[in-house]
Amino acid sequence: MAGRAALVLRGVTLPSGRVADLSLGEGRVLHIGAGLPADESVDATGLLCLPAAVDMHTHLRGGREQSAKEDWTTGTTSALFGGVTVVVDQPNTIPPLTAPDAFKARVAEAAGQARCRFAVNAGVVPGADLPALWRAGAMAFGEVFAGPSSYGEAVPPDVLGRAFLTLRDLGALATVHAEDPLPGAPESLAEHDRLRPASAEAAAVRAVGRLVPRGGGVHFCHMSSAAAVDAADPVGTVEVTPHHLFLSREHFEADDTHARMNPPLRAEKERKALWSRWDAIDAVASDHAPHTAAEKAVPFAEAPSGVPGVETMLPLLMAEVVSGRLSLASVIEKTAVNPAGILGIAPAGFGPGERADFALYPKEPTSIDPDALHTKCTWTPFEGTDAVFPAIVVMDGACVVRDDEYFGSGSTWLPGKGYNP
């Protein structure tokens, strides 16, 4: 046991229910029990301490073209205030991350602005140099669009099949947006659901599964229906979002653009069916995809798809925990343990030497207020919903959020396993 800690969190409640002091140093857990002598001591009495989350599906925008929606500073600040210390950025940026130079520029932009740990995925399109992107540090490849979406064109099946072979040989993970939408411009949430039906989502998952070679790794993003989860479960790992778990189209006016996303919100019956697959879901990720209020204030057919969510993901789930509707163990598994395992990064945890990234939660919910969130976009589809936000967030063994203030000093890039500078 080390003799001195950098930080002691006194009186935390561990997931097991045990109350103890948590001593941290050099970004790692040193000791659980009576606190060691420390440079800093924080009273955490009554707070429930969890490993901080890994959000493996975010769109942090940024760049000259999209920084009005979000930038790395605002997006990662929002993540921290929601109990997330690792974000994975998707490659359908402007420009798309389909060549090493664009990828490296994206990493450099993030390194200068981000406030939490970050990884960046690379894109899959015809002609993309996947081995070079892997060597450049891509965490994974995708989300690969098996059907078109905002800022993403569908990848033809023959290209996708060859890419899966290449990625298998590299030892890289493919993350897939599995949809097969019908043609048309929807004028309402119900029409959006009809043009991107749950049956077509499940069929797209099965079609992708037929292309995955033996030994290939695939992760299915934002499954929105029970049928899609069932189809994906034997093929690869399964991700769902809070908006598909907590929202249905019946929660909104018929043409409310703030509820437009891909895959679309389903009917209330389908939403409840998705919850019934909770045990088959490997990861919960936000698909944080902010658009400005002005971009959403247009006719439904013209509105972009996507909603913010990185700051509200864990608080929504923690409200379910404190109400007794979800087990704490399952939330930790799907937001911290499994995402780290799927990506191949070191998990946060309570064992000696494990990464000291934690979020400490009170046990009483509040209502989500869009004005209190830290994302650059000024709205949320979850306004008024019960949530439990962390009172303290620790990253790399130091308090970065406390008393509603940010105290951090920077970020760390997490390159993928193929990184070869």
The residues assigned a catalytic role are 287
Cα dist. 117→49, 113, 114, 166, 384 in Å? 19, 11, 8, 28, 29
**Pairing label, strands 141-145, 173-177:** parallel
Say how many C-beta atoms besides its own lie within 10 A of residue 338's C-beta: 21
Per the CB < 8 A criterion, the answer to whether 127 and 161 are in contact is no
Per the CB < 8 A criterion, the answer to whether 248 and 267 are in contact is yes
What is the rounded distance in angstroms from the CA atom of residue 345 to the CA atom of residue 349? 12
Tell me the angle at which helices 72-81 and 100-113 cross, rounded to the nearest 10 degrees.
60
* Nearest partner of 354 among 83, 30, 80, 36, judged by Cα: 30
Q: Report the SS3 class of residue 16.
A: coil
Q: Which residues partner with 54 through β-bridges? A: 86
Per the CB < 8 A criterion, the answer to whether 288 and 55 are in contact is yes
At residue 191, φ and ψ (nearest 5 deg) are -70, -35
* Nearest partner of 241 among 342, 316, 319, judged by Cα: 316
Say how many C-beta atoms besides its own lie within 10 A of residue 102's C-beta: 19
Per the CB < 8 A criterion, the answer to whether 174 and 163 are in contact is yes
Q: Report the SS3 class of residue 144.
A: strand
* Nearest partner of 171 among 135, 125, 222, 146, judged by Cα: 135
DSSP string, 275-291: HTTGGG--EE---B---
Q: Which residues partner with 89 through β-bridges? A: 58, 120
At residue 40, φ and ψ (nearest 5 deg) are -140, 140
What is the rounded distance in angstroms from the CA atom of residue 218 to the CA atom of residue 231? 13
